[in-house]
A and B are shown apart, each in its own frame.
Chain A
Amino acid sequence: MQLDFSIILNWLPQFGSALLVTLETTVCSLLLGLLLSIPLSLCKISNVKPLQWFAALYTSIFRGVPLLVQVFMMYFGIPLVLPVKFTAFQAGTLVFAMNSAAYISESMRGGIKAIDRGQYEAAMALGVHYPSMMKDIILPQAIKSVLPSLVNEFISLLKNTTLIASIGLVDILRVGQLIQSRTYRAFEPFFAISVFYYVLVMGLSFLGKLLERWVNKSDRR
């Protein structure tokens, strides 16, 4: 069979807007997930048992149920029993965010636990209250140590967003499927999509490295 990559060029505008959808979903989910992971990790290290239980239950649910099932649940299931309505983008972003929150909070908890007792004691001895101590002293150091796993989470999030094609959002994968159904060609579109993702992930890893170097500027060189 003759390969014809000119199809890709014909569909470039669609790929362009689909790329935006993918990036938008990824970035929104990551930011929201990061935001959610902070209270969640604080629950995990808290001395209050019910908070610990809640956080453990939350994490186990999002770890235990397949992501695609979660997406279907949020988009098709939840609106039937609760008075809410999601667009495909909202449902997808919410699920991905809640999912990453579960994973990020787990490594964040490790990061917080790894911080020397002396940092807490120094802050307490200076009369700093708990919320400020966490926000200004403990979390910045914890986030620094979880940054590598945060970059990993970003990458897997980027790849997981292909699942939103299944609830009808036109992301890069969906464009490929459209090409396939219109032209009966599968190799070229999916090859192009693979390249797209590969380049995106490589770019992200590189940015992650830069970011890591930037936040580690306080370390001895």
Chain B
Amino acid sequence: MIDVKGLFKDFGALHVLRGVNLHVDEGEIISIIGPSGSGKSTLLRSINLLEKPTFGEIWVEDKLITPPDPYLHFDVIRASNTYRSMLAAGGKDEEIIREIKKKNLLKEKSRLLKKEGAQYYSLLKKITAEHFEDTYSVRRRVGMVFQHFNLFPHKTVMENMIYAPIKVNKLEKEQAIEKAKGLLQSVGMLEKQDVYPDTLSGGQKQRVAIARTLAMDPDIVLFDEPTSALDPEMVKEVLDVIQRLAGTGMTMLLVTHEMGFARKVSDRICFLDEGVLIEDAPPDVFFSTPKSDRAKAFLDKVL
């Protein structure tokens, strides 16, 4: 359902993601964990293109959502493998990046161009473009729940719920309200439908935000530290809602610091460190016998 191939993301000189490969099947629940600054949120935000990848490909349900570049398509996995082996050998960031960008890939490009010619290039481009999906329709299918809820403060709870379904999914207003009522009911917020978000507690806001995301009928929901901004006593009400959603077979990616919860609901745990996906294992395996020293050190600190 989601295929991340050789994903790189730079913020200026900062290399936040360095060749991440990740595959998610339909209905899977993946928790992405790791130290702060490891690129968890950036990885998640790349999947609905709130971050534009510097390099690499993301496929969502057989649609390419990153800009089509046939040469990247061919070379990026190899590049990221090269990169990782250099990293393992103790290479410096800048050196490695330069290596990949200049020597490896650009040479590869020019070699291909020389060998196969422009015709081949345009053919490849056409093929990848056929699979390409524009950013807006990707976002309609990939919902996102934010750390800081991001409800629209000038709209009531109900207006928050129905705005995008009417505007983007072209639902009739009555239909949208009907649907919103059902969703608000399911997160226990129906009686608050006419109030403004500022009068709600953090936990209530996040429950509304989850319902708002679901109102768009997403195929995938991304959770970006959904409980990190909450007071401790409100964490459970939000986790309960997420767990119930997990039970419905929704495909979910979750960036979280709630290790107990991640272990309970996830099908797989992805451990990210310094922009590299170090471990990808079922929760029981990961939490009991982590392979890498990094993961062991991290778990020692948080458990």
Could you tell me which A residues sit within 8 Å of B by CB distance? 116, 118-119, 121-129, 132, 136-137, 140-141, 144, 217-220
Given contact pairs A129-B168, A132-B167, A219-B198, a sample of 11 additional A-B residue pairs in the complex whose CB atoms are under 8 Å apart: A118-B150, A125-B50, A125-B143, A126-B139, A126-B168, A126-B213, A127-B139, A141-B154, A218-B197, A219-B153, A219-B196
A132 — which chain B residues lie within 8 A by C-beta?
Answer: 167
B302 to chain A, nearest CB (A): 26
Most interface-central of B139, B142, B197 (chain A CB within 10 A): B139
**Set B50, B150, B167, B168: member contacting A119, Cβ < 8 A:** B150
**Set B196, B198, B216: member contacting A127, Cβ < 8 A:** B216
Bound together, the chains give a CA A146 to CA B68 distance in angstroms of 42
Q: Are A127 and B154 interface neighbours, CB within 8 A?
A: no
Bound together, the chains give a CA A129 to CA B136 distance in angstroms of 7
B144 to chain A, nearest CB (A): 4
Could you tell me which B residues sit within 8 Å of A by CB distance? 48, 50, 136-137, 139-140, 142-144, 146, 148, 150-156, 163-164, 167-168, 196-199, 212-213, 216
Q: Are B139 and A118 interface neighbours, CB within 8 A?
A: no
Bound together, the chains give a CA A125 to CA B146 distance in angstroms of 10
In the A-B complex, the 10 residue pairs with the smallest Cβ-Cβ separation, listed nearest first, are: A122-B150, A126-B164, A118-B150, A218-B196, A127-B140, A125-B144, A127-B139, A220-B198, A127-B168, A140-B154
B156 — which chain A residues lie within 8 A by C-beta?
Answer: 218
Could you jot down 15 A-B contacts, CB within 8 Å?
A118-B146, A119-B152, A125-B142, A125-B143, A125-B144, A126-B139, A126-B143, A126-B213, A127-B139, A127-B216, A129-B136, A218-B153, A218-B156, A218-B196, A220-B198
A112 to chain B, nearest CB (A): 14
A191 to chain B, nearest CB (A): 45
Q: Are B48 and A125 interface neighbours, CB within 8 A?
A: yes
Would A136 and B167 be within 8 Å (CB), given that A127-B140, A129-B136, A218-B196 are in contact? yes
B197 — which chain A residues lie within 8 A by C-beta?
Answer: 218
Minimal Cβ-Cβ distance residue in B for A125: B144
Bound together, the chains give a CA A83 to CA B124 distance in angstroms of 56
